[in-house]
């Protein structure tokens, strides 16, 4: 059979920790090649990626499966950044575009839809509280 004619294999859903790590790693790779957002992480927050990435695995695992053990306060962290740099509509729109685009490129299904909706809701809340 001609392989060219086969449908591309369907994307998996986000099933657990392994997929969350893939999603987070891919998303922050894209953030780091985006000038607008990378500036905030590298120059303003001076992010330590070795600690930030595991924190974000825990965060999203907690959001999606209630098992990640995340106990931080995202609102407070972003509120501290807001006076130091531009954290407006443009930045949040870009963040969400990259996040949802990463989900869609890698995954499809109920959890993929749910994590995109959670990200959109939280972006809205964080943006409105810090501006
Ligand atoms: C303009 C958009 C955003 C920017 C520029 C941004 C940037 C950052 C930065 C610089 C940090 C600190 C990293 C460090 O420790 O150095 C951070 C932490 C974090 N961000 Fe965002 N962020 C954005 C939107 C969001 C959204 C929409 C969410 C949630 C869906 C989110 C979730 C988090 C979480 C959970 C942390 C870790 C907080 C903690 O330390 O416990 N961020 N973000």
Least confident of 7-11, 40-44, 73-77: 7-11
**Chosen CATH of 15-130 out of 1.20.1260.10, 2.130.10.10, 1.10.490.10, 2.170.150.70:** 1.10.490.10
CA 123 to ligand 1: nearest atom: 27
Pocket test for ligand 1, best of 74, 88, 122, 128 (most atoms within 8 A of CB): 74
Q: What is the pLDDT of residue 3?
A: 66
Name the token pair of 22. 């893939």
In the predicted model, is pLDDT for residue 98 greater than 70?
Answer: yes
Q: What's the gap in Å between 59 CA and the centre of ligand 1?
A: 10
Q: Which residues contact residue 73 at a Cβ distance below 8 angstroms, ignoring those fewer than 6 apart?
A: none
CA–CA distance, 91 with 21 (Å, rounded to integer): 23
Rounded to the nearest 5 degrees, what angle is found at the Cα of 32, between the Cα atoms of 28 and 83? 95
The pLDDT of residue 6 is 74
Q: Residue 2 above 90 pLDDT?
A: no
Residue 94 pLDDT exceeds 80: yes
pLDDT of the residue at 8 = 78
Q: What share of the chain is helix, strand, coil (3-state, %, to 5)?
A: 75, 0, 25
Token representation of residue 122: 């939280």
Q: How far is the CA of 86 from the centre of ligand 1 (A)?
A: 14
Give the pLDDT mean for 6-20. Answer: 92
Radius of gyration for the alpha carbons in the chain, expressed in angstroms and rounded? 16
For the chain, the domains span 15-130
């Amino acid at each position: 059979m001609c392989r060219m004619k086969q449908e591309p294999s369907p994307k998996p859903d986000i099933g657990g920790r392994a997929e969350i790590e893939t999603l987070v790693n891919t998303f922050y790779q894209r953030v780091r090649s985006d000038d607008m957002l990378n500036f905030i992480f590298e120059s303003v927050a001076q992010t330590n990626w070795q600690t930030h990435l595991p924190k974000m695995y825990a965060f999203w695992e907690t959001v999606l499966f209630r098992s990640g053990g995340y106990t931080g306060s995202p609102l407070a962290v972003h509120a501290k950044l807001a006076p130091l740099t531009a954290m407006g509509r443009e930045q949040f729109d870009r963040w969400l575009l990259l996040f949802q685009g990463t989900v869609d490129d890698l995954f499809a299904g109920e959890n993929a839809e749910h994590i995109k909706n959670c990200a959109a809701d939280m972006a809205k809340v964080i943006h409105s509280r810090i501006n």
